[in-house]
Amino acid sequence: MNPLTAQQLIDLAYLIAVALFILALRWLSSPATAKRGVLAGEIGAALAVLATLCNYEIVDYKWITVALVVGAVVGIPLGLVHMTAVPQRTALSHAFGALAAAMIGIAEYYVRLPHVAKFEMVEISLEVIIGSLTFTGSLIAAGKLQEILPQRPITYKGQNFVSLSVLGAAVLLALWLVFHPEHSHLFPVMVGVSLIFGVMLVTPIGGADMPTVISLLNSYAGLSAALLGFVLNNKALVVAGALDGSSGFILSVIMCKAMNRSFTNVMFGAFGQVQVSASKDKEERTVRSASAEEAAAILGNANSVVIVPGYGMAVAQAQHKVRELYDTLIKKGVDVKFGIHPVAGRMPGHMNVLLAEADIPYDKMIDMDAINPEFPQTDVALVIGANDVTNPAAKTDQGSPIYGMPILEVDKARTVMVIKRSMSPGFAGIDNPLYYLDKTLMLFGDAKAFVGDIIRELAGGH
Amino acid sequence: MTSDLISNLWVFVLAAFIGFEVIKRVSPLLHTPLMSLTNALDAIVVVAAIIICGRHKSTLSTVLGAIAVAASFSNMVGGFIITDRMLRMFKTTRTKKP
């Protein structure tokens, strides 16, 4: 077989792999077919890797083997992390993907020197800039999610100007290299500046904005892979990158809509930092608090309960206790559902995965648009570790920083119970009028412990 | 070489449209597994990394290629494992009590 036919066979394998990738995403449309989707993706990926190993250009397999083993040794534990660590794991995998794309782009540049055509240099520079900034940006995001770095936004005066200047510098260096690709000493400078920009891009963004940022970084990681496909003229990479890029983009749009904010506002607004315009009316407002015993009595006598989980439930690791509460209430004949806000948690779909991990059936997890019409007929809305996504000020108070954001309308339920550590507002510092309603009972305490107490009361009391 | 650019652009634009259409239909329930699955699929850059690493043009390209192989292959392996684990957890009230 001459090399050309072998190459064509490899290309054919890539084509099949890419078709399987599209099927994989197609089957992800419902949980019933999703497992088949993963299998299709695995077969496609294995086919592409095996075909590549037959490429005649490969003269030495030693380092490939070593690197594949290292990749497996790192990848398997990253596949087995605890479900609560999924957001930071995801951020880390964006970092790895972008690192790989950047490394390959850098290697290509040095291999092609000194003759790099202009359009090739445009592709390489763009690819390396996006790959590098996504790498460091994702590392910062992972650090914030793992709480190695502070979750609150880190800002200073003139920050946007400085950040954009750094990005501008990277672009200028890239332009210079397009016309003078032989000035190879500038290339590492461009990489370095892009790496710095990635750090500056994510440090000013607060924890509550992480769902959007993770989605956006996902999109960038996909884009860098697609651009790499342009550089190497490899259509499998172009397609996989385009799929990943559009997925991240769609998720970012969904997240932004769910917060009623624009991309620019998320990236440059440093949400949750300056809330100087705190509530003008500082009059004493009273809240009603209740004990676990009272809460248990109300829940036990309810016909319908909607539980609204938020990031606080994840922090307190309360999802398994919540499942016990769900089981106890179901046994008493109470109809229990979960109302899920798109930005609850730290990444898209975060709450669904945590609840699924605790064995709560997914047909009980209802998204915002479907659950909102049900609140007026709901006896009890039980809010566990969620705050802003239930804040009625988003609908009524034009001065509120979250005005216009779609919320879960728990205030329409007959009784609202909120499990919260204390009355102190979250780091976004936005006051929640929900807590002062006559129908609202505040349940002060740790989410996990308090839900445990309610379960004990329910078991003992009746 | 510019003809390659054009044909790649064709593929990119069409694939992005397919991506939009297909991903729009993914249930919000599965947005986390969607992200981990696309991550694993994106790790297909490993094929480019393998070639860079294996064709041994220079020490630098082999080293950079090896880093890229390790980084992307870990994404591929880890991404598929965690997606599979997550999807196994999703059960309905019907499947829960057989």
Tell me whether residue A388 is one of the annotated catalytic residues: yes
Positive or negative torsion for Cα A199, A201, A204, A209? negative
- This model of the complex carries an ipTM of 0.94
What does the pLDDT read at residue A425?
62
What does the pLDDT read at residue A2?
57
Residue A156 has pLDDT above 60, yes or no: yes
Residue B97 has pLDDT above 70, yes or no: no
The Cα–Cα gap between A385 and A447 comes to: 7
Cis peptide bond upstream of A376, omega within 30: no
Report the gap between the CA of A444 and the closest CA in chain B (Å).
30
What domains appear along chain A, each with residue ranges and CATH number? 60-268 (no CATH), 288-461 (3.40.50.1220)
End-to-end CA distance of chain B: 60
Quote the mean pLDDT of chain B: 90
What does the pLDDT read at residue B32?
94
Model confidence at A375, in pLDDT bands (50, 70, 90)?
Answer: very high
Tell me the DSSP string of A31-77.
Answer: HHHHHHHHHHHHHHHHHHHHHHHT-TT----HHHHHHHHHHHHHHHH
B6 touches chain A (CB under 8 A): no
Q: Which tokens go with A7?
A: 């190459």
Residue A281 has pLDDT above 80, yes or no: no
CA atoms within 13 A on the CB side of A243: 29
Residues written for chain B: 98
- Per DSSP, helices labelled H in A203-291 are 210-232, 235-258, 263-268
**Which residues in chain B are contacts of A96 at CB distance < 8 A?**
71-72, 74-75
Cβ–Cβ below 8 Å for A79 and B35: no
Average pLDDT estimate for A433-440: 90
Average pLDDT estimate for A390-396: 89
Q: Which tokens go with A371?
A: 């659950």
pLDDT tens per residue, range A208-219 = 788 888 999 999
Task: Find the residue in B nearest to A248 (Cα).
Answer: B35
Q: What is the pTM of this model?
A: 0.89
The Cα–Cα gap between A224 and A234 comes to: 13
**Which residues in chain A are contacts of B56 at CB distance < 8 A?**
59-60
More confident residue, B95 or B47: B47
**Which residues in chain A are contacts of B88 at CB distance < 8 A?**
35
What does the pLDDT read at residue A55?
85
CA atoms within 13 A on the CB side of A14: 24
Q: Which tokens go with A113?
A: 């020197």
The Cα–Cα gap between B31 and B47 comes to: 27
Cβ–Cβ below 8 Å for B45 and A225: yes
User: At which residue do the structure tokens 């399987």 appear?
Assistant: A20
